[in-house]
Structure 1
Amino acid sequence: MDDNFKSVKQNEKFSILNGVASTIVASTSNNYFSLFAISVLGATNYQVGLISSLPQFIGMFAMIIGSFILSRLEEKKKFTAISILFTRLFVFSMVFIMFVPPEYRSWVFVLLIGLMNFPGSFMLLSWQSLIGDLIPDQRRNSFFSERNRILTIVGMITTFLMGIILQQFDKANPLPYQILFFIAFVFGIVEVYYLFKHVEHKKEKPVKPIKQKRLTLKWDVFKDKRFVIFLICSLYFNFTWQMAWSLFNIYQIKYAYANGLWISLFTVANQISQVISYKWWGRMADKHGNAKMLIFVSLGMASAPLLTVLSTNLYYLIVVNVFTGLFVAGTVLILFNQLLEVTKEENRSSYIANYNILLAIIGFIAPQFGVFLLEISNINIAMTTSTIFRASSAFVFIWLYISLKKKYPASPLMLNQK
């Protein structure tokens, strides 16, 4: 028992260090993809939309392949580490994007971002499954709230420093972005190092392997009603959430004329409120249950698009990001913990794979739908529509809460609810 507790604590430590490196990677690359595409490469609205949606489309196929690979692995750590490395190699390739003929640069950049999500989907799927095995149920809310708080602080500091660096250069100068992409790759190596430090116990092979396992891994999860109810609700919420992702970038850069420093300040403002709210969301989820808290999360997230388009004043947009960051923290923490709660440990990889495959379809459609609304109307109508859609997801989560409470009162999902 003591050895098991020791390995859990060790895994928590290295998970945080691994997450710190991963956060630095995102803070020096992903955060500035849209700004680089618009300001340096001259990307269109459609191409900016593809930056959000194409990775999801490619990831859908990766999830199918990854689910079969993971179902055959006795150990997931090595596969996760290799997936991380290949994902970061795509970031490294972006350093050389300016060597591509000008007329093809924006399309090559979009394609690189899309293809990067092939190993990136392996990375996400295997990490979620691995960490679900390594961190016990009773420690998840407290650990992930603390982990997310630390990573958000790191992301906030890194993003602010990167914004200051970008401010020293002309908005259309590619050099600072190339430097950031290289830094991201270096920390990607650090990320792999700390992933290997995790302690993973090899799973024993079953004495009598089931011949049809390959087929049942794909469909059996849909017989679990708890999972299916959560799946429907989560997919609807993610559609309403993701349809505005590209719109925020377009509004901030093309309408509010934000440069690298302001984009960094928006991100930092959002992250500050995440830092101060992660523990609160964790405590509330422990007290009331994840299903109930998702109702409040969705209502808070609904305010973001409408509040954003009320003004192009950059200082005002910082305040909006502070407010909306409170609910982003709840979304990230509670959705992930809810997913782990409605999945069974013995075939969690299959649950997560199917969930992420369907989520990838939504992730491809939703941003394109948002850009489509922008093209046929204007930014105000598109963002207001997003707010209405997001608010409607609160009713979906009410259905989730009531359904689970009535049909599954003794399930783990409801144990914490009062």
Structure 2
Amino acid sequence: MQSPAEQALQNEKNSIFNGVASTIVMSMSNNYFALFAIGVLGATNYQVGLISSLPQIVGMFAMILGTVIMSRLQEKKRFTGLSILFTRFFLLSMFLVIYLPQEYRAWTFVILIGLMNLPGSFAMLSWQSFIGDLISDSRRSGFFSERNRILTIAGMFTTLVIGIGLQWFDKANPLPYQILFILAFLFGIVEVFYLNKHIEQKKQSNKVLKRVKFGWDAYKHKPFIYFLICGLFFNFAWQLAWPLFNIYNIKIAHMTGFWISIITVANQVGQIISFKWWGMMSDKHSNAKMLAITAIGMATAPFLTILSTNMYYLTFVNFTSGLFVSGTVLLLFNQLLEVTLEENRSSFIAQYNINLAIIGFIAPQVGVFLLQMSSINTAMNLAAGLRLVSGAVFLVFYYYMRKQYFRSTVASVPRS
């Protein structure tokens, strides 16, 4: 029988292996969805926008259903593993898209990406709640910053190898993408294997769990509400530019699969060298304060991107962007866990992700709409401006959290 400390160490080790496999899957598939859609399937700007937004609206409905399911689970590991496995099966379907009549290929691919997020959202929701229960508050910043650093290194090497390999094929050749989809599915099996090696303590059923239906109780907790508002505003500004980056890089800068890999690797290098720093700074200054800084840093990416189509310049811009992406990923997740209540964490996470899914559907469509109505420069600059404003919004949230902390500290001081 392992001690709690040994179990915690084993869970952290398995979480890293599970995350590495998951990162390899994403590096082999998601990173090249847009390139496959545009270069091989001939997708339109609208369809490229849907690649970013359709999964979000599907995810919204999945989160509502997932909230009900999660509130009744005493063990989350099995549900998480099955959700991941079903998600990876969609990669096999993508392998077959090229054999459809040409007029149906792009739309079928876009729909498959959207539907894949049904089990994918179950997996994300259950994993966040699952790992939040396994990793103690005191270990979160240190462990997740190190975990994210290792995962990003794995993604960087995977992407670099893929980029080199894609040079051997014409950009309209579907074969390399089909190979990637099959390999990604196989690594998905490895991902599930290491997830199942986690040690989870079975929770006893209680009245609180039985009472949970759709997680509306999360809105009674003010810190969560304020974080939700700030997080949604930032994510709108962040995701507004996602399809714009794909369109700019592929249609305007004319990037090949090799250069898509290079800029992705540059972004990941920026993340690798900064993850640990963001973790230390969040421990020193709080997640909320550092989120304001990351939001301001993220505002530079859209503005700097449109200044040139030079590949080396865009590689540098993606490197600097990665310095702030690492902080965004780490701090948003840590802050979410910080404003949730442990006894009903899955409800908070579900409500956050449901609202995030709505924003995730709207924002890319707004980005494409702005592009159609104006120009890529105008759309990108507006995205940069909104990201800058979100930094100020997070700063207001930081002062609110600091005020709450001082109130709780004063209230806990014994009176004579």
**Local SS of the residue matching 1:409:** helix
Alignment-derived partner of residue 277 in structure 1: 274
Alignment-derived partner of residue 224 in structure 2: 227
- 2:13 and 2:27 mapped to 1: Cα distance? 21
Amino acid at match of 1:36: F
Tell me if 1:267 matches 2:264: yes
Amino acid at match of 1:57: I
Q: Any unmatched runs of 5+ in structure 2?
A: 410-416
Tell me if 1:355 matches 2:352: yes
Alignment-derived partner of residue 385 in structure 2: 388
Tell me if 1:253 matches 2:250: yes
- 2:210 and 2:174 mapped to 1: Cα distance? 53
Tell me if 1:93 matches 2:90: no
Amino acid at match of 1:24: I
Alignment-derived partner of residue 61 in structure 1: 61
- 2:181 and 2:391 mapped to 1: Cα distance? 38
Query: Cα deviation per residue 1:10-69 (whole Å; 9 max; x = unaligned)?
Result: 000000000000000001000000000000000000000000000000000000000100
- 1:348 and 1:295 mapped to 2: Cα distance? 24
Structure 1 residues 225 and 408: alpha-carbon distance in aligned structure 2, compared to 1, 3 A threshold: farther
For residue 411 of structure 1, report the CA deviation from its aligned partner: 5.8
For residue 212 of structure 1, report the CA deviation from its aligned partner: 6.8
- 2:303 and 2:253 mapped to 1: Cα distance? 15
Structure 1 residues 219 and 264: alpha-carbon distance in aligned structure 2, compared to 1, 3 A threshold: same
For residue 92 of structure 1, report the CA deviation from its aligned partner: 1.4
From 370, 373, 378, the equivalent of 1:373 is 370
Alignment of 1:162-201 (within 5 A): 162-201=162-201
Alignment of 1:37-52 (within 5 A): 37-52=37-52
- 2:407 and 2:72 mapped to 1: Cα distance? 32
Amino acid at match of 2:227: F
Query: Cα deviation per residue 1:360-395 (whole Å; 9 max; x = unaligned)?
Result: 000000000000000001101110111001100011
Tell me if 1:213 matches 2:236: no
Alignment-derived partner of residue 414 in structure 2: none
From 320, 324, 347, the equivalent of 2:321 is 324
Alignment-derived partner of residue 407 in structure 1: 404
For residue 316 of structure 1, report the CA deviation from its aligned partner: 0.4
- 1:344 and 1:2 mapped to 2: Cα distance? 28
Query: Cα deviation per residue 1:313-367 (whole Å; 9 max; x = unaligned)?
Result: 0110000011110000000000000000110111000000000000000000000
Alignment of 1:119-138 (within 5 A): 119-138=119-138
Structure 1 residues 2 and 214: alpha-carbon distance in aligned structure 2, compared to 1, 3 A threshold: closer
- 2:25 and 2:406 mapped to 1: Cα distance? 42
- 1:381 and 1:233 mapped to 2: Cα distance? 24
Structure 1 residues 241 and 411: alpha-carbon distance in aligned structure 2, compared to 1, 3 A threshold: farther
- 1:410 and 1:300 mapped to 2: Cα distance? 31
Tell me if 1:160 matches 2:157: no
- 2:48 and 2:408 mapped to 1: Cα distance? 42
Amino acid at match of 2:159: T
- 1:336 and 1:236 mapped to 2: Cα distance? 16
Structure 1 residues 211 and 326: alpha-carbon distance in aligned structure 2, compared to 1, 3 A threshold: closer
- 1:372 and 1:179 mapped to 2: Cα distance? 34
Amino acid at match of 2:59: G
- 1:162 and 1:322 mapped to 2: Cα distance? 19
Say how many residue pairs are matched. 409
Amino acid at match of 1:405: R
From 323, 332, 337, the equivalent of 1:335 is 332
From 389, 394, 397, the equivalent of 1:397 is 394
**Local SS of the residue matching 2:225:** helix
Query: Cα deviation per residue 1:225-260 (whole Å; 9 max; x = unaligned)?
Result: 010010000000000000000000100000000000
Q: Which runs of 4+ in 1 moved over 6 A?
A: none
Alignment-derived partner of residue 77 in structure 1: 77
2:371·2:378 contact (CA, 8 Å) conserved in 1? Answer: yes
- 1:212 and 1:191 mapped to 2: Cα distance? 31
For residue 79 of structure 1, report the CA deviation from its aligned partner: 0.1
- 2:258 and 2:340 mapped to 1: Cα distance? 41
- 1:410 and 1:380 mapped to 2: Cα distance? 46
2:241·2:380 contact (CA, 8 Å) conserved in 1? Answer: yes
Amino acid at match of 1:342: V
Amino acid at match of 2:61: F
2:209·2:344 contact (CA, 8 Å) conserved in 1? Answer: no
- 1:211 and 1:160 mapped to 2: Cα distance? 46
Query: Cα deviation per residue 1:266-302 (whole Å; 9 max; x = unaligned)?
Result: 0000000100000000000000000100110000000
- TM-score in terms of structure 2 length: 0.97
2:72·2:209 contact (CA, 8 Å) conserved in 1? Answer: no
Amino acid at match of 1:376: M
Alignment-derived partner of residue 23 in structure 1: 23
- 1:205 and 1:49 mapped to 2: Cα distance? 43
Structure 1 residues 61 and 411: alpha-carbon distance in aligned structure 2, compared to 1, 3 A threshold: farther
2:71·2:210 contact (CA, 8 Å) conserved in 1? Answer: no
For residue 2 of structure 1, report the CA deviation from its aligned partner: 7.7
- TM-score in terms of structure 1 length: 0.96
For residue 91 of structure 1, report the CA deviation from its aligned partner: 1.1
- 2:23 and 2:203 mapped to 1: Cα distance? 30
Structure 1 residues 98 and 68: alpha-carbon distance in aligned structure 2, compared to 1, 3 A threshold: same
Amino acid at match of 1:132: G
